[in-house]
C-alpha cells in the first residue's frame, strides 16, 4: 500500500504514464495469503514493479510513449512481464520513456519528459533521468518502486541507471524474450532489470529471463541461479581496461571514477590488465546506421490501420482522404521528431543505391567489433569502463543537437552491437554531488561474472 501511495504523490517526476495500483495490491495480497497459509513464497512475492511502457501488458494501455499508439490496449501480455507475474510480482504502473526507446534523456516522450529526482546542490534546474528507460531509473531512484524493467538497445538501461545512482543490467542478447515487447531494433533490443543494487538486479533478472518459443532469437538455455552465485571475491579474475575508451576530452572526474573502480577491483582480488578494442571508434556510427535501419522496418506497421491512432488530412489542406493520405496524416501526427529522423535515416541507408555503402558496411563493422571483444576476452574475464562520458545533464541542454545526444552512448553501444551482457553500477558522485556509473561488460552468457564484478564496486 505504501508504494501505491508514494506513486500517487510523485506526479512531478512524470515517471508513470499509467498507474495500476490494483495489479500491485492483488500481488501483495496473494503474497500475504501464501505467507498466512505457510506456503513457500515465490521469489518476487508481492513485490511492486514498474513496467517500462515498451512492454505490452494485457488490458493496460501501452504506447511506447508515442501518440501513434494512443488508444492501444494489448490483448496479450509480454513474455517478460508474464514471467515477473509468475514469480509473484505485481505491476504498479507503466513507466514513461523516450518515444519508441529512441533517446538518451527522455525528452522524446510524447507525454512530457521524466525528471530525475536528483538536483545539483543549490539549483532547481531539472536534470535528465537518462534514457530511454528514464521513467524506470527515476522511479527506482526516487523509491517509488524497488525495481523496474528497462530495455536496452544501445544503452537504455545502463545510461539512465548511471544518471540516477541505481544499478541495471542488460543481459546477453537472447536471455530475455522479446515477445510482446514493442520493437525498436530487433537485433539489439534486450530487456533487463533496474534496481537499487546488484542483488536485486540478479533476483529480478532470474525472473525475467528464460527460453521462449515465441521469440526466434530466444536462447534455449536454463536460467542460471545468479543470486545464489553472487560472490564479492574476484580472486583469480582478470579485469580488462580497454585503452580505446580513454576518449579525448573525457572529464577528469570520469577518469578518477574509472581509477577508483580499478582500485576496488584490485581490493576484491582481481588482476588488472590493459586490453585493446581497436574498432571502438566505429561503434557509434555503425549503431546509428543499424538501429535506425531496423527501426524504419519495424515502425512500418504503424500505418493507422492496425494499431492506435488514425488521422485524416485536414479538409482545408485540400487533400483527399484516400489510403496514402490517411497513412501520411497518421504518421505525421503520430510520430515524434526523433522517431521521424530515425525512420528517414533508416530508410535512406536501406535504399537500393546506398545499402552497400551504409548498411552492409555497418554490419561488417559490427562483426569487427564483436571480434575485438572475443580477442580481448582471451586476456580477461570482464571489462571495466565508465558507463557514460558525463553525469546527468540539464534537461534541454542537448535536445536541439542530435549528435551531442548520440555521443552520450559512446561507451554503451559497442557491447550492444556484440550482444554481450553489460551492467552499470553506481561508482560515486561528481563534484556537484551527482551520481556516476561504472560499466562492466562480460563474455556472452557470463552475467554471473558481470554481477560479481558489480558487487565489488557497490
Q: Which residues have CB under 8 Å from 9's CB, separation 6+? A: none
Q: Is 53 in the site for ligand GLN (CB under 6 A)?
A: no
Q: Is 171 in the site for ligand GLN (CB under 6 A)?
A: no
Select the residue interacting with ligand GLN from 104, 109, 177, 448 (CB under 6 A). Answer: 104
Residue 330 C-alpha cell reads as: 497518421
* Closest distance of CB 439 from ligand GLN, Å: 13
Q: Is 138 in the site for ligand GLN (CB under 6 A)?
A: no
CA distances from 314 to 24, 309, 318, 323 (A): 43, 15, 8, 14
Angle of the 198-208 helix axis to the 447-457 helix axis, nearest 10: 160
Output 113 or 452, the one with its CB closest to ligand GLN: 113
φ, ψ for residue 42, nearest 5 deg: -70, 160
Q: Is 291 in the site for ligand GLN (CB under 6 A)?
A: yes
Catalytic annotation on 177?
no
CA distance 101 to 447: 23
CA distance 458 to 453: 9
Site for ligand GLN in 182-211 (CB under 6 A): 184
What does the DSSP assignment read for 56-120? -BTTB---TT-GGGTT---SS--HHHHHHHHTT-EEEEEEP-SGGG--SSSTT-TT-----S---
Output 107 or 311, the one with its CB closest to ligand GLN: 107
Q: Is 101 in the site for ligand GLN (CB under 6 A)?
A: yes
Catalytic annotation on 116?
no
In 10 A of CB 293, how many CB atoms? 24
* Closest distance of CB 130 from ligand GLN, Å: 9
Cβ atoms of residues 149 and 193 within 8 Å? yes
Select the residue interacting with ligand GLN from 409, 430, 446, 447 (CB under 6 A). Answer: 409
Q: Which residues have CB under 8 Å from 231's CB, separation 6+? A: 452, 455
Catalytic residue among 81, 116, 132, 416: 132
Q: Is 156 in the site for ligand GLN (CB under 6 A)?
A: yes
Select the residue interacting with ligand GLN from 48, 103, 336, 386 (CB under 6 A). Answer: 103
Output 372 or 409, the one with its CB closest to ligand GLN: 409
Q: Is 382 in the site for ligand GLN (CB under 6 A)?
A: no
Catalytic annotation on 132?
yes
List the Cα angle 200/206/208 in 5-degree steps: 100
* Closest distance of CB 6 from ligand GLN, Å: 27
Q: Is 155 in the site for ligand GLN (CB under 6 A)?
A: yes
Output 253 or 338, the one with its CB closest to ligand GLN: 338
Catalytic residue among 138, 156, 167, 416: 156
Residues involved in catalysis? 52, 132, 156
Question: For binding to ligand GLN (CB under 6 A), which residues are involved?
Answer: 101-104, 132, 152-156, 184, 291, 409
Amino acid at each position: 500500500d505504501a508504494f501505491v501511495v508514494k506513486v500517487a504523490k510523485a506526479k512531478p517526476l512524470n515517471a508513470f504514464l499509467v498507474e495500476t495500483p490494483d495489479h500491485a495490491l492483488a500481488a501483495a495480497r496473494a503474497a500475504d495469503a501464501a505467507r498466512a497459509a505457510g506456503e513457500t513464497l515465490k521469489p518476487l512475492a508481492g513485490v511492486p514493479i514498474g513496467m517500462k511502457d515498451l512492454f505490452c501488458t494485457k488490458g493496460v494501455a501501452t504506447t511506447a510513449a508515442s501518440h501513434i499508439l494512443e488508444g492501444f490496449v494489448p490483448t496479450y501480455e509480454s513474455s517478460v512481464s508474464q514471467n515477473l507475474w509468475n514469480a509473484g510480482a505485481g505491476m504498479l504502473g507503466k513507466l514513461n520513456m523516450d518515444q519508441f526507446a529512441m533517446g538518451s534523456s527522455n525528452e522524446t516522450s510524447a507525454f512530457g519528459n521524466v525528471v530525475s529526482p536528483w538536483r545539483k546542490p543549490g539549483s532547481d534546474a531539472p536534470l535528465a533521468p537518462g534514457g530511454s528507460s528514464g521513467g524506470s531509473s527515476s522511479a527506482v531512484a526516487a523509491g517509488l518502486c524497488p525495481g523496474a524493467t528497462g530495455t536496452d538497445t544501445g544503452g537504455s538501461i545502463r545510461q539512465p541507471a548511471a544518471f540516477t545512482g541505481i544499478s541495471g543490467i542488460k543481459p546477453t542478447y537472447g536471455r530475455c524474450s522479446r515477445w510482446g515487447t514493442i520493437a525498436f531494433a530487433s537485433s539489439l533490443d534486450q530487456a533487463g532489470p533496474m534496481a537499487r543494487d546488484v542483488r536485486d538486479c540478479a533476483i529480478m533478472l532470474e525472473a525475467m529471463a528464460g527460453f521462449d518459443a515465441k521469440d526466434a532469437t530466444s536462447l534455449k538455455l536454463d536460467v542460471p541461479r545468479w543470486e545464489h552465485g553472487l560472490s564479492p571475491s574476484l580472486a583469480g579474475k582478470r579485469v580488462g581496461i580497454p585503452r580505446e575508451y580513454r576518449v579525448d576530452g573525457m572529464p577528469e572526474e570520469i577518469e578518477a571514477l574509472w581509477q577508483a573502480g580499478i582500485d576496488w577491483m584490485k581490493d576484491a582480488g582481481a588482476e588488472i590488465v590493459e586490453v585493446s578494442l581497436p574498432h571502438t571508434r566505429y561503434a557509434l556510427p555503425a549503431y546509428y546506421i543499424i538501429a535506425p535501419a531496423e527501426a524504419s522496418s519495424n515502425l512500418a506497421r504503424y500505418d493507422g490501420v492496425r494499431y492506435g491512432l488514425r488521422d485524416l488530412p485536414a479538409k482545408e489542406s485540400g487533400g483527399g482522404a484516400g489510403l496514402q493520405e490517411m497513412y501520411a496524416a497518421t504518421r505525421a501526427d503520430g510520430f515524434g521528431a526523433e522517431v521521424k529522423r530515425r525512420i528517414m535515416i533508416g530508410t535512406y541507408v536501406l535504399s537500393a543505391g546506398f545499402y552497400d555503402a551504409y548498411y552492409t558496411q555497418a554490419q561488417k563493422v559490427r562483426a569487427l567489433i564483436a571480434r575485438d571483444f572475443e580477442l580481448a576476452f582471451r586476456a580477461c574475464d570482464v571489462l571495466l569502463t565508465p558507463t557514460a562520458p558525463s553525469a546527468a545533464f540539464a534537461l534541454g541542454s542537448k535536445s536541439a543537437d542530435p549528435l551531442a545526444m548520440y555521443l552520450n552512448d559512446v561507451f554503451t553501444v559497442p557491447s550492444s552491437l556484440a550482444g554481450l551482457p553489460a551492467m552499470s553500477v553506481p561508482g560515486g558522485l561528481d563534484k556537484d554531488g551527482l551520481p556516476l556509473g561504472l560499466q562492466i561488460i562480460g563474455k556472452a552468457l557470463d552475467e554471473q561474472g558481470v554481477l560479481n564484478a558489480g558487487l565489488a564496486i557497490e
